[in-house]
């Protein structure tokens, strides 16, 4: 299982939102590249970088930030506002190892299939961000009629291998990961599911690993509020992987 420290970018700063709401924003750093180096120094091999400005369709310079982070010799899973083949190609050109596709996966699944054909399944992750049992799009502002399992099966059918499941109602609130829904998604779709939203403690990390079917976990607020030490989380996962 892979642990992904989250770096959410808004206005050139590292922030965390509560329930995806820009009005509930906390700024944790003015220097996202330094923050990336901090997590790398703690042992991170992957980073989960989100262009919140892009997700909310705001003009931004976060692709340059992506380029600088990728130059640190770390694998970057990058999403937020990638809604066309051109957007996706530019993210890869700036150093993304894997792109996270949300809105475009709902509205234009053929773009997801094309990207997999061109880049391979390991380079693509689909965001199944859910509120009240349905997938949300456009920065979590629009609710679709699709349930995560339903959409997950559709994505598996076009070659998707990796998905991120976020319970939006828990994101940034430190209320604990939605273990049951995350595990159900993995077992019912056969996808490599990355858990996200609400992760609060090392117990969450351990429980996800113990489920035996979860491929990764994105940790944000718990790291920034020092409820989880990244080195400790990585140690648990690596010891379990060896065992």
Q: Residue 45 is part of which domain span?
A: 2-242
171 is catalytic: no
CATH code of the domain containing 96 = 3.20.20.70
129 is catalytic: yes
**Number of structural domains the chain divides into:** 1
Q: Which residue has the tokens 């056969």?
A: 190
Tens-binned pLDDT, residue by residue, of the chain (243 aa): 999 999 999 988 999 877 667 777 789 999 999 999 999 999 999 999 999 887 776 667 899 999 999 999 899 999 998 999 999 999 999 999 999 999 899 999 999 999 999 999 999 999 998 888 888 876 556 777 789 999 999 999 999 999 999 988 776 667 889 999 999 999 999 999 999 988 999 999 999 999 999 999 999 999 999 999 999 999 988 876 554
Tell me which of 53, 129, 171, 204 is the catalytic residue: 129
């Amino acid at each position: 299982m892979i642990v992904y420290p989250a770096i959410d970018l808004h206005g050139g700063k590292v922030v965390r939102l509560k329930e995806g709401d820009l009005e509930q924003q906390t700024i944790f750093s003015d220097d996202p590249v330094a923050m990336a180096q901090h997590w790398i120094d703690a042992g991170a091999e992957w980073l989960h970088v989100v262009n919140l400005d892009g997700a909310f369709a705001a003009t931004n310079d976060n692709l340059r930030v992506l380029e600088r982070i990728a130059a640190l010799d770390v694998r970057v899973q990058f999403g937020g506002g990638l809604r066309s083949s051109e957007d996706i190609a530019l993210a890869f050109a700036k150093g993304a190892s894997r792109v996270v596709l949300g809105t475009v996966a709902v509205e234009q699944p053929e773009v997801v299939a094309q990207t997999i054909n061109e880049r391979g399944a390991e380079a693509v992750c689909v965001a199944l961000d859910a509120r009240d049992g349905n997938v949300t799009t456009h920065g979590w502002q629009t609710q679709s009629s699709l349930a995560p399992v339903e959409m997950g099966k559709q994505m598996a059918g076009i070659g998707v291998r990796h998905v991120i499941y976020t319970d939006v109602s828990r994101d940034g609130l430190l209320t604990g990961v939605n273990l049951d829904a995350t595990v159900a998604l993995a077992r019912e779709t056969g996808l490599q599911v990355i858990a996200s939203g609400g992760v609060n403690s090392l117990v969450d990390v351990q429980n996800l690993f113990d489920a035996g079917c979860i491929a990764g976990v994105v940790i944000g607020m718990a790291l920034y509020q020092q409820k989880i030490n990244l080195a400790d989380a990585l140690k648990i996962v690596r010891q379990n992987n060896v065992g």
